[in-house]
Amino acid sequence: AQKVTQAQTEISVVEKEDVTLDCVYETRDTTYYLFWYKQPPSGELVFLIRRNSFDEQNEISGRYSWNFQKSTSSFNFTITASQVVDSAVYFCALSEWDGQNFVFGPGTRLSVLP
C-alpha cells in the first residue's frame, strides 16, 4: 500500500530563514511519481513540482529546491530565504502512475513570521 508521511505538523520560521519540509513515502511500485502542492489560506491547491521515480536529480526553482533520495524514500522541499507569502499548508503526494491514484500526506503548516 502507498503511504506518505510528513512528520512536521507545523513549522514556524522568521522571514529570510531557510526551511526544509520533510516527506517520506512508501510504495511497492518501481514506477511512481512524487509531487508537492501548496495550499494557501484561500484554499486552492497550487502545483509546485512533479518528479518521477527514475529521476533523482535535485531541482531548484528560484527559492525552492527539492531533494529526492530513493535510498531513504524521501522527497524533501527546501525554501530558501522564506517570505511571509510562503505561509501555507504544503502537501507531499505520491501517485502510482502518471497523475492518478494520488495519496496525499497529512500536510505541513508553514508560518513565516515577519
Partner 1 sequence: SAVISQKPSRDICQRGTSLTIQCQVDSQVTMMFWYRQQPGQSLTLIATANQGSEATYESGFVIDKFPISRPNLTFSTLTVSNMSPEDSSIYLCSVARTEAFFGQGTRLTVV
Question: Which cell is 31 given?
Answer: 514506477
> Per-residue string for binding with partner 1, 63-92, x by CB under 8 A?
----------------------------x-
Our finding on whether 55 is near partner 1 (CB under 8 A) is: no
Answer yes or no: are the C-beta atoms of 77 and 64 closer than 8 Å.
Answer: yes
User: Where in 19-38 is the site for partner 1 (CB under 8 A)?
Assistant: 33, 35
Which of 28, 44, 62, 85 binds partner 1 (CB under 8 A)? It is 44
Report which DSSP code applies to 97: E
Which of 87, 88, 105, 110 binds partner 1 (CB under 8 A)? It is 105
Question: Which cell is 84 given?
Answer: 511571509
Nearest Cα neighbor of 45 from 93, 95, 97 is 93
Spell out the residues 6+ positions from residue 54 whose beta carbon is closer than 8 angstroms to its own. 31
Helix, strand or coil, per DSSP, at residue 59: strand
Our finding on whether 111 is near partner 1 (CB under 8 A) is: no
Binding stretches for partner 1 (CB under 8 A): 33, 35, 43-45, 47, 50, 91, 93, 95, 98-100, 102, 104-107
